[in-house]
Amino acid sequence: MEPMLSEDAIAELEKQQYRIVGERKHSAVKVCGWTKNMLRGKGGCYKLKFYGIRSHQCLQMTTSMSCANRCVFCWRGRKAPVSKEWRWGMDDPEDIIEESLEAQRHLLYGFGGHPTADKQLYEESKDVKHVALSLSGEPITYPLINEAVAGFHRRGISTFLVTNAQHADEIRDLAPVTQLYLSVDAPSEELLKEIDRPLFPDYWERLLRSLDHAREKRGRTTIRITAIKGMNMVDPAGYAELILRGDPDFVEVKAYMFVGASRQALSIKNMPYHEEVESFAKEILEHLPEYGLADEHKPSRVVLLAKKQYYDEEKKSWETWIDFDAFFKRWKDYESGKARDIPTEECSVRWTRGHVAKDLEVAEGDVEEKDLD
């Protein structure tokens, strides 16, 4: 069968510092700007501040560059494929994982001798501890996604998987991941069509079914709202209704960033300031009595809402970090058949961020546009 990406598409992506892995050309790796920032001693991303993900040990990749949407805010090139179904050859998940890890090491090799790089953090970066299955495309459509997730977990690599909520059956059948993300880009059917430009005619029903299946998951779940000024920062009650339907542990309200191919569809005026994102998040929060404003990361222009169960009344702090040891212990039970799932309450850290080392503190200064994830 034909590879997913054409030679023209691969050439365009490689200019953007992607590395295509696998013989069938459907998986890709790209080093996140925050990984580079961490290695330069400039601090980690919001995933460090919110969840305890060490940015220099984070692999950003996807198992599928194809997607069933052509979202106006997406940064990926217009040559990347769109499709409602998988119609290409398929690489083995173990090959994808090993090639992705090797690509990451190769892309970071220059930091080993760079004068501004932290040598200890560089050595640690060779030992990947987390994978963000997002980047571009729709990773959940890879037919062997559960095998890929298992392969990462067996290596002690935690998983965040991001889906556009158009593949409800795949969400239903997804094996436990460390944290599952659903993108909810609009509060109404009409606006979702304008923002996501979906291929599926029943896109709204698919979103609702995806939220229903996410609600059934016992592991950590997150709804991501990409806030586009002048377009979808409307109807906070409508967003709240969808959030309540999906019942996630967390809600991330994050600004659209004026980068990549999105500049062909939007303007820099569509990129809200952090204060505007925070204000909109608070408007949504007014309709969510079981949630609170847990955290924010100004360089990424993102605000975290969390269920109040994550607030420690005694310490007066939000405890949203992940207990990775507990997660992997439970994963072994799941894989061996001793457990049916990985409950959220068993995998949350009960100590504050004060325990994080000085060199892992989050940078709150400005970052370059090209470094924003």
CB 72 within 8 A of CB 266: yes
Check the CA dihedral 231-233-235-241 and report its sign: positive
The two beta strands, 311-312 and 317-318, are antiparallel
- 118 assigned to some structural domain: yes
- Of residues 363 and 282, more confidence is placed in 282
**90-100, pLDDT tens digit by residue?**
999 999 999 99
- 169 assigned to some structural domain: yes
**124-134, pLDDT tens digit by residue?**
999 999 999 99
CB 280 within 8 A of CB 227: yes
Helix, strand, coil share of the chain (percent; to 5): 40, 15, 45
pLDDT at 47 over 50: yes
Q: Write b or e for each residue in 164-185: b if 16 or more Cβ atoms lie within 10 A of its Cβ, otherwise e.
A: bbbbbebbeebbbbbbbbbbbb
pLDDT at 81 over 70: yes
- 343 assigned to some structural domain: no
Q: Which of 146-150, 154-158, 178-182, 340-344 comes out lowest in average pLDDT?
A: 340-344
- 14 assigned to some structural domain: yes
- Of residues 372 and 217, more confidence is placed in 217
- 240 assigned to some structural domain: yes
- 213 assigned to some structural domain: yes
**251-269, pLDDT tens digit by residue?**
999 999 998 778 888 999 9
Average pLDDT for the chain: 91
Instruction: Write the CATH number for 27.
Output: 3.20.20.70
- 176 assigned to some structural domain: yes
Domain with 155, as residue range(s), is 7-317
- 76 assigned to some structural domain: yes
pLDDT at 237 over 70: yes
Tally of structural domains, the chain: 1
The two beta strands, 58-62 and 130-133, are parallel
